[in-house]
A and B are shown apart, each in its own frame.
Chain A
Amino acid sequence: MAALSSRCCFSLGFLVGTCTLYFFLTQVWFERKFSLQLDSQVPSMAGQWGGENQSWRVEGSALISLRYPHLQGKDSRVADQLYKKVRILCWVMTGPDNLETKARHVKATWSRHCNIVIFMSSREDPDFPTVGLGTKEGRDQLYWKTIRAFQYVEQHHSHQADWFLKADDDTFVVVDNLRWILSNYTPDEPIYFGKRFKPYTKQGYMSGGAGYVLSREALRRFVEGFRTKACTHTTSVEDLALGQCLEKMGVLAGDSRDSIHRETFHPFVPEHHLTMKFAKSFWYWNYCYYPIVEGPQCCSDLAVSFHYVDAELMHMLEYYTYHLRAYGYQYRYQPSLPEGVEPDSARTEHSPLGTERDAPGNGSSKL
């Protein structure tokens, strides 16, 4: 009888011991796994900008890159020099509802290649971070947001950069190629670049969605225009209104095409430009300042921007631009170095198939 009861106690004890330790173990491991997951999913947003090789600092709502983000396996001497010579401040037009769905992907991809990037919203967000422009949201607010954004940039950052790019949160930009285009101009010239449209203005204006970039002098004149009331909020059509103000202030609309006259700023996604035949009735035919080229020659190898880019395509384009390549392939288009830039190491330049060797914008910048 006693043996039976002690056996029962033993079994009971065994059960209790097993269960206790089981719960203990699962709790500990669960917590450890959970905290690991937590770590990997919600780090500080600002802490992730740039990735491993980037060093940056936060100044208010501006993310300022301290050195060129090097990528493995590449000789980036020329890009490095241009990074120092052609400093670009990128400001991205976004809004509170788009931070997680759109702006976040811009932050994770192309904006890391800017010298400075600032996200502009109607409302301030210290975590993302974004500047609060004090406007409302909506299409009718676009020009107000643009005016306020440029005023903010001119006030706080005009000495920290040479060129000032505006982009949307669904624009993809290859900042290195923008530096190449701009390397032939100086920031003291009153000039701006983008996808040039022709209607409603004498010299044309730049498409808002494809992004446009102002020289420091152009920025100064734009802000001055509003201070002196030479420019006012005429319409909410932001790109046209800006173009009209700049024209008034004597800022030149530049030719952003590459040295063989292929467009670099694009108002649609790559697939549309490369494969679609635009219907003859489509507004685009009447808007483009330069002749439209359909098919592969629509777009320069050194493209600067595409528009209507969703989150997935944003990362795909970053992969295609900075990562995926054909090993050993000799590009057909091999433009010559801009002035004042040292070539990279020993390899002599060769153009195997008689490729173009002009600098960008040659001859057509003087209007």
Chain B
Amino acid sequence: MISEGSSFIKGMLLGGLFCAVVTLLGNFSTGHQSTTDHHHHHIQVPSKEELLKLPEPKRIELSQSIRVYCAILVQPRELSYWAAVKETWSKHCDKAEFYSPENVKVFHSVNLDTKDKWLMLRNALKHAYANGKGYSWYFVALPSTFAIIENLKFFLLNKDPGQPFYIGHTVKSGELEYAELEGGLVLSVEALRRLVGVFSDSVKCPEQGSVLWKLTEEKELAVCLKYTGVFAENAEDSEGKEIFNTKSVNTLIKEALAEKPQEVVNGCCSDVAITFHGQSPNHMQVLMYGVYRLRPYGHTFHDSLVFLPPVDSDND
């Protein structure tokens, strides 16, 4: 009787211990998992301290020397978005080139003569590299993306374009980390040089894409770049917020309203966001107003770079 009782108690104690250990391990492993999920490469905007160390003439020189070539991949049926991009943010690129799959009468574009998205991307980048002498950075976007080029330049300020950079809103798919095209992606001239080099390798980077199964063009890009030793990196501001966004401001605010109702604006988006995706053409005009014009009187930012408004433009 006593031995049974003591067995029971021993069992209970062991059972309790077992449960505790399992739960702890469970939490630990999920905790660990969440950090490995988040194990992207993160690059941040330059810090205030870094910028203050730069002397004034150097800052002015940098403001002028960072030159961005924008490659925008359009589809003829997206004419209203194309028009919106032409009238809005693309005016702030040092050069904006539109790449289309066929000849379009309405707007000037580079005709890539193919409907295949991966081939379009390849040829657009080849063309950009060949024609973009003197540009240190290449920004690839869709017409449904809205970009703030000044913030892109600010982000790139302390990065050496002679190094391979491939940056955007990154996502991991199995072992492959890639930048989503919708959020815009940026390549340094060195990364583009390597990419154009591997284009001629039909084993590593074939024109028809991956042999086993068809990947999206953004993934194919990541695969090819990986072969040249260039890996996707995620960008964030000094508070760790995403600056390349694959969602619209509307969606991000809606999500913040649902998830963090006490700190919607602070919790939502970066002050120096570079891209948003999915804004209507009309809302792109609102964004031009919101970014480049609307502000509260009496506040000054002592920024370390100076960017002038583009000529012949009245919505910024």
Picked from A9, A311, A312, A353, the residue with its CB within 8 Å of the CB of B309 is A353
A247, CB-defined interface residue at 8 Å:
no
**Closest residue of B by beta carbon distance from A82:** B298
| Contact between chains at B301 and A353 (CB < 8 Å) | no
Contact of B296 with A320 in the complex, beta carbons under 8 Å: no
A48:B271 contact, CB within 8 angstroms: no
CB neighbours (8 Å) of A179 from chain B are 297-298
Q: Is B307 an interface residue (CB 8 A)?
A: yes
Tell me if A274 counts as interface (CB < 8 A to partner B).
Answer: yes
A window 69-84: CB within 8 A of B: 71, 73-82
A303 vs chain B, min Cβ distance (A): 6
The reply on A10 being an interface residue by CB < 8 A is yes
Question: CA separation between A81 and B285, bound complex, in Å?
Answer: 33
Residue A66, interface by CB 8 Å: no
Residues of A within 8 A of B261 (CB): 41
CB of B213 closer than 8 Å to a CB of A: no
**Chain B minimum-CB-distance residue to A272:** B282
Of the residues B10, B154, B262, B271, contact of A328 by C-beta under 8 Å: B154
Query: Do A10 and B10 touch across chains, with their CB atoms under 8 A apart?
Result: yes
Instruction: Tell me, rounded to whole Å, the shortest Cβ–Cβ distance linking B195 to chain A.
Output: 28
Mark contacts of A75-96 with chain B using CB atoms, 8 A cut-off: 1 yes-contact digit, 0 otherwise: 1111111100000000000000
B299 contact set on A, CB distance < 8 A:
71, 74-76, 78-79, 176
Are B290 and A320 closer than 8 Å at their CB atoms? yes
Enumerate B193-234 residues with CB–CB distance to A below 8 Å.
Answer: none
**Cβ of B150 < 8 Å from any Cβ of A?**
yes
A185 within 8 A of partner (CB): no
Q: Which of A25, A270, A303, A333 has the most CB of B within 10 A?
A: A270
What per-residue 1/0 map shows which CB atoms of A289-314 lie under 8 Å from chain B?
00000011101011100000001100
A199 an interface residue at 8 Å Cβ cutoff? Answer: no
Contacts of A108 in B (CB 8 A): 264
Within 8 A of A (CB), among B33-88: 63
Interface status of A366 (Cβ within 8 A of chain B): no
Q: How distant is A163 from chain B, measured CB to nearest CB, in Å? A: 15
Stretch at the interface among B13-21, B105-113, B130-138: B13-21
Which residues does chain B contribute within 8 Å of A60, judged by CB atoms? Answer: none
Task: Report A302 CB to chain B, min CB distance, Å.
Answer: 5
Residues of B within 8 A of A82 (CB): 297-298
Of the candidates B15, B151, B265, the one whose C-beta lies within 8 Å of that of A18 is B15
* CB < 8 Å neighbour of B314 from A5, A48, A297: A297
B93 to chain A, nearest CB (A): 13
Query: B133 to nearest A CB, angstroms?
Result: 25
From the candidates A18, A51, A71, A326, name the one contacting B292 in the complex (CB within 8 A): A326
How far, in whole Å, are A301 and B290 apart by their CA atoms in the complex? 9
Roughly how many angstroms separate A325 CA and B302 CA in the complex, as a whole number?
A: 13
B171: Cβ under 8 A from any A Cβ: no
Task: Decide yes or no whether B28 CB sits under 8 A from chain A.
Answer: no
Partner-contacting stretch, out of B118-126, B159-167, B181-189, B249-257? B249-257
Q: Are B285 and A296 in contact (CB under 8 A)?
A: yes
The answer to whether B305 touches A78 (Cβ under 8 A) is no
Say whether, besides A17-B14, A274-B289, A325 and B271 are in contact (CB < 8 Å): yes
Query: Does B272 have its Cβ within 8 Å of any Cβ on chain A?
Result: yes
A75 / chain B contacts, CB cutoff of 8 Å: 299-302
- Chain B positions 1-40 with a Cβ under 8 Å from a chain A Cβ: 3-5, 7-20, 23
Is the pair B301, A6 in contact by a Cβ cutoff of 8 Å?
no
The answer to whether A321 and B294 touch across the interface, beta carbons within 8 angstroms, is: yes
Q: Given A274-B286, A328-B304: A322 and B7 within 8 A (CB)?
A: no
Q: Is B176 an interface residue (CB 8 A)?
A: no
Given the complex of chains A and B, what is the CA–CA distance between A296 and B293 in angstroms?
A: 10
The reply on A275 being an interface residue by CB < 8 A is yes
Q: Which of A20, A71, A316 contacts B250 (CB 8 A)?
A: A316
Residues of B within 8 A of A11 (CB): 11
Contacts from B to A (Cβ < 8 Å): 3-5, 7-20, 23, 63, 92, 148, 150-151, 153-154, 249-250, 253-254, 256-257, 261-266, 268-269, 271-273, 282-283, 285-309, 314-316
- A residues sitting closer than 8 Å to B (CB atoms) are 2, 5-7, 9-22, 25, 40-41, 43, 48, 51, 71, 73-82, 108-109, 113, 174-177, 179-180, 270-271, 274-275, 295-297, 299, 301-303, 311-312, 315-333, 344-345, 347, 352-353
Instruction: Give the 5 A-B residue pairs with the shortest CB-CB distance, closest first.
Output: A13-B11, A17-B15, A79-B298, A320-B290, A17-B12
Q: List 17 A-B contacts (CB under 8 A).
A: A12-B8, A15-B11, A17-B13, A17-B16, A75-B299, A76-B299, A78-B297, A180-B298, A296-B315, A315-B253, A317-B290, A323-B271, A328-B150, A330-B308, A331-B295, A332-B293, A332-B309
